[in-house]
């Protein structure tokens, strides 16, 4: 079936989702919208997503991942980076490209992580060992560095 469009059997839930998707686009001001499509394998999630991309390609910038298939999305920040990387950087559809707060905040976050990992605590610090351990654990969960 290579090169052919797969058959798609519309379901009640998929039709409702498509209607909500359309309504959200019609009512969106200047905010990005996020939808999660999930379900058992083989029910048509990928096909429905492709159909939405085709219908709305002039109105919507799509970014997508597949849990279990997309590499390097183990933490919320890594997931955000993966999705962000897929968005066009100079799209007229994305009003945030002029400001690009994600990049500046991400860089600030990485700088803070670097300092926390490389600079020793001052001698007069009131940070105890448990607090230090908690911060290190949190950094491991959210860090994008290996």
Neighbours of 40 (CB within 10 A): 6
pLDDT score, position 21: 87
pLDDT (tens, 9 = 90+) of the chain, 146 residues, equals: 456 666 666 778 888 888 888 888 888 776 667 788 888 888 888 888 888 999 988 888 888 888 888 898 888 888 888 888 888 876 555 555 556 778 888 888 888 888 877 777 666 567 777 877 787 777 766 654 44
Cβ partners under 8 Å of residue 53, min gap 6? 60, 62
pLDDT score, position 124: 59
pLDDT score, position 146: 43
pLDDT score, position 25: 85
pLDDT score, position 133: 77
Closest Cα partner for 135 from 81, 74, 122, 121?
Answer: 121
pLDDT score, position 2: 57
CA distance 114 to 109: 9
CA distance 140 to 137: 5
């Amino acid at each position: 079936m290579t090169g052919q469009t797969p058959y798609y059997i519309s379901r009640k839930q998929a039709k409702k989702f498509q209607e909500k998707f359309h309504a959200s686009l019609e009512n969106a001001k200047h905010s990005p919208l996020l939808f999660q499509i999930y379900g058992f394998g083989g029910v048509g999630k990928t096909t429905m997503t492709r159909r939405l991309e085709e219908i709305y390609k002039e109105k919507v910038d799509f970014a997508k991942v597949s849990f279990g298939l997309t590499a390097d999305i183990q933490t919320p920040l890594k997931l955000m980076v993966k999705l962000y990387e897929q968005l066009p950087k100079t799209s007229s559809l994305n009003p945030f490209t002029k400001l690009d707060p994600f990049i500046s905040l991400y860089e600030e976050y990485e700088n803070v992580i670097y300092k926390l990992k490389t600079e020793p605590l001052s001698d007069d610090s009131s940070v105890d060992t448990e607090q230090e351990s908690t911060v290190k654990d949190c950094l491991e969960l959210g860090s994008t560095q290996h």
